[in-house]
Amino acid sequence: MRGNDIIGHTGKKGITMDHIYSIIMFCMSAGLFLYAFIAKKSGFNAILRNYAVSPKDKQAYASEFAKLLAKVACLFLLSGIIAPFGTGSVIIWISVAVLIAGFILLMKFGTGKLMNLLE
């Protein structure tokens, strides 16, 4: 039995921390996809925003915001999919590294269109 089994010393294979991590990532991804869908359909008023933000085209801003949010949700989904394919904490660290690298790439290359829509 692996050391990170939640069931304990019963000898039965239970839910492991790898599974818990994946479940959490899938829930985060589902929540972000739902919010992206709501922001896309409802428009600018559905976006929680800083009142200093004033986009030139509110509908285009809401659309780009929803796309960026969906990309973030994909990062959580990818991280959750990777986690159960290995054993131990190494695969969790790989999943977290994929998540962090994805965030860095999105911040570097994914926010340009969104920022161009601001006044």
Task: Evaluate if residue 87 carries a pLDDT over 80.
Answer: no
pLDDT at residue number 119: 60
| DSSP symbols for 47-69 | S---TT--BSSHHHHHHHHHHHH
Average pLDDT over residues 56-81: 88
Tell me how far apart the terminal alpha carbons of the chain are, to the nearest angstrom.
58
Nearest to 100 by CA among 82, 119, 85: 82
Band (50; pLDDT cuts 50, 70, 90): low
Per-residue pLDDT tens digits for 99-119 = 999 999 988 887 777 777 776
The residues spanned by each domain of the chain are 17-116
Nearest to 16 by CA among 29, 27, 6: 6
